Amino acid sequence: MKKIYLTVVGFSMLCRISTHAQTRRDTISTKPLNSSTQSSKQDSTQYNPRKLKLDEVNFVTSYYSQTGNHSAVTGGIGTESVTDIANGLDLNFVWTNNHQNKNTLAVGLGFDYHTAASQAYVSKTGASSPTGTRLYPSLDWTVENAKSGNTFGIGTYYSTEYNYNSLGADLHFSVKTDHKNGEFSAKLQGYFDNVTLIYPSEFVPASTTVVNNGRNGDGGHRDNFGTSPRKTYSAAFGYSQIINSRLQVAVLADVVGQNGFLSLPFHRVYFSNGKDTIERLPSSRFKLPVGFRANYFVGDNIIIRSYYRYYADNWGIRANTANLEVAYKVSPFFSISPFYRYYQQSAARFFAPYEGNSPTQTFFTSNYEYAKFTSQFFGVGFRVAPPTGVFGWQGLHELEIRYGHYSQNTDLVSNVISLNLGFK
């Protein structure tokens, strides 16, 4: 089979706007004395630290006795015992208002550009466009209770590309355990998608005229017949726990249900008897992924992130994913993260390769997304977050560029470059 090259260039921007509503504590953040930001300020006062002599160290206790005269007139308090504050004073922070919340509004914009040679063959003559672009803006509003650390939020997401658009909404919340070491989170999402029914050119139903009531197809291929809906509902649950200052773990489980038009109308299937048709898949699907994550801090500069996930769905696919990433902090503002991911899945019940499906099957597909395969994805990411902003621009506080190479044992190879920008 010909090698298929898929190149994806992704670009996403995430802008977080945080507002602090009456957060007394948050507006005053504590910093240890040795903080590096001080050194630039000390020069301007023209007073420098100096080592005190012993009598200066004891200045307070010996204040009045310096004058050698303890009479009232000299202001002396005589030999009265003085409170000793060497044991420390407690500065107790209070919450004057129970409604102290931190509101964060995250605005994201993603852009993908992909090329896939096979896409050109949606039209039998290869006249379809081999490239596609996807635009996906998102909005998320989360409220965090500054005292308990619990959050609640809603989000919305929209994605559009030539044959598919998706509108999503989600509700998410998280609850922290008493000492804030553990956190339980839940996210309920719904996606309401529309698949543009772009049929391969030879399967356009003959009796109908071309009706452009849905999204227009890509360049040159005008065989579209409106859209068909697809709904996805998912509930994602997670529990994360800080074991100690170096180790954090998390357990994740999702429940996903889909219904609607779950296949793609331009995927062809060739039966064992040589007859060809379009793939047909059930109109409902149920998925259950379960995962485990562990992040370990080695020394001061290295974080090891590991992830394992088991996936099962009711189409017969069973899959395992193992991912390992090592983030190395070269400096407080620059880090390098090489990563590796191994993935293996079994075939769906109704998958068979070219001329492998029997015409008597109810459901059939030759889409290799549902085949048995293993894949590897590895690459490296670079992240910069200088204090003066990226390229000196304070509004752009971080930039990450990731390159990855993906290969499947079914001869699919792809390269992904993605750029992440974080704005304040």
Partner 1 sequence: MTANQVFKKDCKLMGNRFELSVVATDEKRANETIEAGIDEIKRIEKLLTTFSDDSETNRVNSNAGIQPVIVSRETFELIKRSVSISKLTQGAFDITYGSIDKSLWNFDQDMKSLPDAGTAKKMVRLINYRNIILNEENCTVFLRERGMRIGFGGIGKGYAAERAKLIMKEQGAVSGVVNASGDLTAWGLQPNGEKWTIGIVNPDASGQVFSYLAISDLAVATSGNYEKYIVIDGKKYSHTINPRTGLPVTGIKSVTIITTNAEIADAMATPVTIMGVHAGLDLVNQMKNIEAIIITDDDQLYTSKNINLRDA
Nearer of residues 61 and 133 to partner 1, judged by Cβ: 61
Q: Which of 44, 98, 245, 331 binds partner 1 (CB under 8 A)?
A: 44
Strand partners, 10: 112, 418
CB of 44 to partner 1, least distance (A): 7
State the Cα angle at 129 between 123 and 132, rounded to 5°: 130
Based on the shown chain and the rule CB under 8 A, indicate whether residue 387 belongs to the binding site for partner 1.
Answer: no
Q: Which of 1, 93, 208, 213 binds partner 1 (CB under 8 A)?
A: 93
SS3 413: strand
Q: Which of 1, 2, 36, 72 binds partner 1 (CB under 8 A)?
A: 72
Q: How far apart are CA 275 and CA 355, in angstroms?
A: 9
Q: Count the Cβ atoms, other than its own, within 10 Å of residue 323.
A: 17
Question: φ, ψ for residue 316 (rounded to 5)?
Answer: 95, 0
Pairing mode of beta strands 318-331, 101-116: unpaired
Q: How far apart are CA 302 and CA 339, in angstroms?
A: 13
CB of 30 to partner 1, least distance (A): 5
Q: How far apart are CA 236 and CA 382, in angstroms?
A: 29
CB of 212 to partner 1, least distance (A): 57
Residue 273 contacts residue 356 (beta carbons within 8 Å): no
Based on the shown chain and the rule CB under 8 A, indicate whether residue 30 belongs to the binding site for partner 1.
Answer: yes
Based on the shown chain and the rule CB under 8 A, indicate whether residue 19 belongs to the binding site for partner 1.
Answer: no
Strand partners, 111: 11, 135
CB of 179 to partner 1, least distance (A): 12
CB of 332 to partner 1, least distance (A): 18
CB of 407 to partner 1, least distance (A): 50
Q: Which of 36, 79, 89, 209 binds partner 1 (CB under 8 A)?
A: 89
Q: How far apart are CA 86 and CA 72, in angstroms?
A: 27
Residue 398 contacts residue 384 (beta carbons within 8 Å): yes
Task: Candidates 65-73, 158-166, 266-274, 402-410: pick the segment binding partner 1 (CB under 8 A).
Answer: 65-73
Q: How far apart are CA 218 and CA 130, in angstroms?
A: 9
Based on the shown chain and the rule CB under 8 A, indicate whether residue 86 belongs to the binding site for partner 1.
Answer: yes
- Token readout for 287 is 């998925």
Based on the shown chain and the rule CB under 8 A, indicate whether residue 28 belongs to the binding site for partner 1.
Answer: yes
Based on the shown chain and the rule CB under 8 A, indicate whether residue 2 belongs to the binding site for partner 1.
Answer: no
Q: Which of 1, 2, 36, 47 binds partner 1 (CB under 8 A)?
A: 47
Pairing mode of beta strands 276-278, 247-260: unpaired
Q: How far apart are CA 171 and CA 144, in angstroms?
A: 14
SS3 8: strand
Within 316-375, which residues bind partner 1 (CB under 8 A)? none
Based on the shown chain and the rule CB under 8 A, indicate whether residue 61 belongs to the binding site for partner 1.
Answer: yes
Handedness of CA 295, 298, 301, 304 (dihedral sign): negative
- Token readout for 45 is 């006062």
Based on the shown chain and the rule CB under 8 A, indicate whether residue 33 belongs to the binding site for partner 1.
Answer: yes
Q: Which of 57, 247, 255, 336 binds partner 1 (CB under 8 A)?
A: 57
Of residues 87, 88, 82, the one with CA closest to residue 61: 82
Q: Which of 36, 90, 213, 331 binds partner 1 (CB under 8 A)?
A: 90
Based on the shown chain and the rule CB under 8 A, indicate whether residue 388 belongs to the binding site for partner 1.
Answer: no
# residues near partner 1 by CB under 8 A: 53
Based on the shown chain and the rule CB under 8 A, indicate whether residue 50 belongs to the binding site for partner 1.
Answer: yes
Q: Which of 2, 41, 99, 179 binds partner 1 (CB under 8 A)?
A: 41
Enumerate binding residues for partner 1 (CB under 8 A): 24-25, 27-31, 33, 35, 37-39, 41-42, 44-52, 56-61, 63, 66-67, 69, 72-75, 77, 82-96
